[in-house]
Amino acid sequence: MPFQREIVMVENEAVADSGTYILDLDITDPLTRLEVGFYVTNGASVIKETPPASVVSKIEVVDGGMVLYSLTGQEALAAGAYDLKVYPSRFLTELANNPQLDNMVIAFGRYMGDREYAFDPRKFRNPQLRVTWAKASGHLTGGCKLRVSGTLLEGIAAPTACLLWKEIESFTSTASGEHVTELPTDWPYDKLMVRAYISTANMINIITRLKLDCDSGKYVPFDFTTEYFMYRQRAYVNDLETEMQCVRDDGERCQHWMGNGAYVGGNNCGGSTIVGVVCSGMDAINAVLKTDAGAAASAVPFMMHPRGHAFESTYMWPFGRSEVADDWFSASTFGSIKLRLTQGLASGAVGVAVRQARPY
């Protein structure tokens, strides 16, 4: 009788302040998902806007020299939220001497427990998970830990394919001009994701237009300004909510990691300081922190509750219904697929990724 089973492969293991952890996926049952939990501990001072996912530069699933899955920590966090429609569990705090946790979920199927689409280690020679990181200077030395868990599918027929995210290109944006990314034409896509991030800027100003161009304009699935793209994204991505403990002065900017169009609330973490936020649909808020007497307050800890649909400052385009393979984008029917990104601000971190159905 088929059933699911949860396994812990690495259990809160202390790791170096930087490095690459390699884990052999030497199991015999298909995986419907993997979950990578990364912990950091804050140092003796407040550390702002430095969650664990931000220090994970790469999460990969490889087979020898072949890269099957590859995203940064923040891309993986966003992709997991889009795929599962649930924001991965996390505990974020900026307070000194406190631990933080981010969970990055790799979903190999259309949904949890998908028997047709799953990662089958038996189809590869030496499959491995690789996690690369380097803690930030404000994190405690010797305070990093790693956890890896998976959900196995036992007693099922061999899956026919698996869904795999891969970052196709990353680059630093310029103040103007078009950047063209050549996309693969081998296997179908069910999603495309673009991350555009500067800590002090709105994501829709870093990249101002997205256009997917197939065979020199013969077929254009979308050609939108990023402002309009965000309106469309709200229609097909459910708002998800998370929370984090922040420390700010009155009027100070505070990143909430939910991208453009988020709604943000805040509340006190004890004491009598009045907490408010000014969001205006941007990638960050301005904290409103006053004493009961109305004076400006500083170094105030408060809980922020952001809710949004552009996780980790990403644009996401679904090619139809993720659970219906016939809806997906048949990349192999085209000779050339180009993503054309119009740039608007310099120094943005931009990453382009697609999730493809890889057949066995």
SS3 77: helix
Please, which pLDDT band fits residue 65 given cuts at 50, 70 and 90? Answer: very high
- Tell me the two tokens of residue 113: 């427990």
For 43-47, 87-91, 96-100, which range has the lowest pLDDT when averaged over its residues? 87-91
For the chain, the first-to-last Cα distance in angstroms comes to 24
SS3 102: strand
Report the residue count for the chain. 360
Domains, in order of start, for the chain: 3-159 (2.70.9.30), 240-308 (no CATH)
Q: What are phi and psi of 232, to 5 degrees?
A: -65, -40
pLDDT of 275: 79
- Tell me the two tokens of residue 144: 């990093």
**What is the rounded average pLDDT of the residues 8-12?**
97
pTM of the model: 0.95
- Answer yes or no: is pLDDT of 279 > 70: no
For 177-186, 198-207, 338-347, which range has the lowest pLDDT when averaged over its residues? 198-207
pLDDT of 276: 76
pLDDT of 1: 56
User: What's the order of all strands across the beta sheet hosting 274-278?
Assistant: 253-255, 284-290, 274-278
Q: Going by DSSP bridges, is the β-strand pair 178-183/337-343 parallel, antiparallel, or unpaired?
A: antiparallel
| CA gap 337, 196 in Å, rounded | 20
pLDDT averaged over every residue in the chain? 94
- Answer yes or no: is pLDDT of 37 > 60: yes
Q: What are phi and psi of 74, to 5 degrees?
A: -75, -35
SS3 321: coil
Q: Are 310 and 261 in contact (CB under 8 A)?
A: yes
**What is the rounded average pLDDT of the residues 117-139?**
97
